[in-house]
A = this chain, B = another copy of it.
């Protein structure tokens, strides 16, 4: 690419919430911001994880100067174990806590010795080819979150990362408005800004408001308190610790990721807790119920998480007992509402008192609302603006918000994954589109589950499958065994003997009609016979049941 131009190529996170990955190109230099995952939605049957399609970068590996990580959430770092190897492990830059979280992940995938992560702090600058990057502190629902300015020869590119403005954050480190003002004063060519909460008017409340709610709940809880939140929400854990100190309660941690993250946050100094306050979950029954707080994972109703297991009476060590108070300190991520509600219902059913967002102020978002988005735009005052991190409607609404603040329409780009956005000092616009989209991780495989497999899984999930197996004598073209009919997920076979027997008869009858033509096909792959069986069964079964199971005819030759 010629100099004098910047390219922004979102590989993930624009047009969806998840798998954030942004490519910034200037001349020969490529800088990547974040490499996240997305959790599969209900249409992605059986898929474990979704990662960005990084194929655009495969023939440009030698141009990658670095990967900048804004913070340690899964939708910003979860793709690293899969994508780092594809890109020959470019150098990475991350803050201390983010580095710690990445390391845990890379260790699990046995990639730790292959990677190099440089720990940076807000204010640090790093050289990246002809550009250099500078980091600034933002507030988010995980400590040590940063935004990035990439200084290119033709101007500054700002990526806000995920942010909100909290003047009184729990860790005492508010976003530095002075630095943001300075960045803006020096002139910013383009800003990419977090759009997640653009639909909410006003300000996201400070994390401090949760202290009052927790205090009230702790003051009235007769027995144990279980609090579920995101394992990465260290500031929430700190708030629970602080409240527990006031009410003289010990803390037990349940859920592997909660234990790991708290351990690391303590070691790195992001979480302070009096010595002896942490007890083993195996020991909770040695304490009086009103001396115990259990902090656990599972605030999203994830099937294998601690709180879900507890709610299902399926946890090895913890079960709900009378007098328990449960706090879900999180909001359901869109798509998780039903499973979160199911968990809450089950906890109530077992007699717990349950507090959750909607009836109690026990959570605040990590993303800024409209007034905060305006504040960021007012501080940075970019010439060009590209909304990121949001579904399409959120990107559009964020664009409109920028427009309402005086950014000309032609200076705003609403782009989606795979769009190639090019800008000079004068103009910005879409110049192309590259292969992008969802790459599915399923078991050991990355990318081999594609649309055909998913479509089959969907069909199978709707009306099941029915197989008709027939053995034919290749000399005579006569059936010598079968058809045997086997079905799964269609009807309960023991209840449907008549139906299946009738189906068998239909196949045999259709076969008789075919006899005259069979000889022509003997020795072939019998596809004519298979088509006929399939058609006959499909019609018969739809007529009988109004369902359309997948029908698989198998013809064996002897």
Measuring CB to CB, which residues of chain A are less than 8 angstroms from any residue of chain B?
15, 41-42, 45-46, 199, 334-335, 337-338, 341, 344-346, 348-349, 354, 358-359, 391-393, 396-397, 442-445, 448-450, 452-454, 456-465, 467, 469, 471, 480-482, 484, 486, 488-492, 495-496, 544-547, 550, 552, 554, 556-558
Whether B199 pairs with A471 at a CB distance below 8 angstroms is: no
Q: Which residues on B sit within 8 Å (CB–CB) of A490?
A: 453
Those 6 A-B pairs whose CB atoms lie nearest each other, nearest first: A443-B546, A461-B461, A460-B460, A456-B489, A46-B462, A457-B489
Whether B453 pairs with A558 at a CB distance below 8 angstroms is: no
Whether A492 pairs with B452 at a CB distance below 8 angstroms is: yes
Do A348 and B467 contact each other (CB < 8 Å), given the known contacts A42-B42, A460-B488, A486-B554?
no
Q: How far is the CA of A344 from the CA of B442 in the complex (A)?
A: 29
Q: Which residues on B sit within 8 Å (CB–CB) of A452?
A: 492
Q: Which residue of B is nearest A397, CB measured? A: B359
Q: How far is the CA of A442 from the CA of B454 in the complex (A)?
A: 22
Whether B444 pairs with A558 at a CB distance below 8 angstroms is: no
Q: Which residues on B sit within 8 Å (CB–CB) of A556?
A: 469, 471, 481-482, 484, 556
Q: How far is the CA of A444 from the CA of B460 in the complex (A)?
A: 18
Number of chain copies forming the complex: 2
Q: How far is the CA of A558 from the CA of B474 in the complex (A)?
A: 13
Return 27 A-B CB contacts under 8 Å, by A number. Answer: A46-B461, A46-B464, A46-B489, A199-B358, A199-B359, A334-B337, A335-B337, A345-B393, A346-B392, A442-B547, A443-B463, A445-B491, A445-B545, A448-B492, A453-B464, A457-B461, A457-B464, A458-B461, A460-B460, A460-B464, A465-B488, A469-B469, A469-B554, A471-B556, A471-B558, A481-B556, A486-B554
For residue A464, give the distance in angstroms from its CB to the closest CB of chain B.
6
Q: Which residue of B is nearest A400, CB measured? A: B353
Whether B486 pairs with A552 at a CB distance below 8 angstroms is: yes
Q: Which residue of B is nearest A463, CB measured? A: B46
Q: Which residue of B is nearest A546, CB measured? A: B443
Q: Which residues on B sit within 8 Å (CB–CB) of A459?
A: 489
Q: Which residues on B sit within 8 Å (CB–CB) of A348?
A: 392-393, 396
Of the candidates B482, B486, B558, the one whose C-beta lies within 8 Å of that of A480 is B558
In the complex, given contacts A445-B491, A457-B489, what are 16 additional A-B residue pairs having Cβ atoms less than 8 angstroms apart? Answer: A42-B42, A46-B463, A345-B392, A348-B392, A443-B545, A443-B547, A448-B495, A453-B490, A454-B489, A457-B464, A460-B464, A460-B465, A480-B558, A481-B558, A486-B554, A556-B556
Q: Which residues on B sit within 8 Å (CB–CB) of A391?
A: 341, 345
Whether A461 pairs with B341 at a CB distance below 8 angstroms is: no
Q: Which residues on B sit within 8 Å (CB–CB) of A338?
A: 41-42, 334-335
Whether A444 pairs with B199 at a CB distance below 8 angstroms is: no
Do A45 and B461 contact each other (CB < 8 Å), given the known contacts A392-B348, A481-B558, A490-B453?
yes
Q: Which residue of B is nearest A452, CB measured? A: B492
Q: How far is the CA of A347 from the CA of B396 in the complex (A)?
A: 11
Q: How far is the CA of A454 from the CA of B552 in the complex (A)?
A: 20
Whether B492 pairs with A45 at a CB distance below 8 angstroms is: no
Do A45 and B345 contact each other (CB < 8 Å), given the known contacts A443-B546, A467-B552?
no
Of the candidates B199, B442, B467, the one whose C-beta lies within 8 Å of that of A467 is B467
Q: How far is the CA of A445 from the CA of B458 in the complex (A)?
A: 21
Whether A489 pairs with B471 at a CB distance below 8 angstroms is: no
Q: Which residues on B sit within 8 Å (CB–CB) of A445?
A: 491, 545
Q: Looking at A15, A348, A469, which has the most chain B CB atoms within 10 Å of its CB?
A: A469
Whether A489 pairs with B469 at a CB distance below 8 angstroms is: no
For residue A74, give the distance in angstroms from its CB to the closest CB of chain B.
19
Q: Which residues on B sit within 8 Å (CB–CB) of A358?
A: 199
Q: Which residue of B is nearest A555, CB measured? A: B484
Q: Which residue of B is nearest A349, CB measured? A: B392
Whether A354 pairs with B393 at a CB distance below 8 angstroms is: yes
Q: Which residues on B sit within 8 Å (CB–CB) of A42?
A: 42, 338
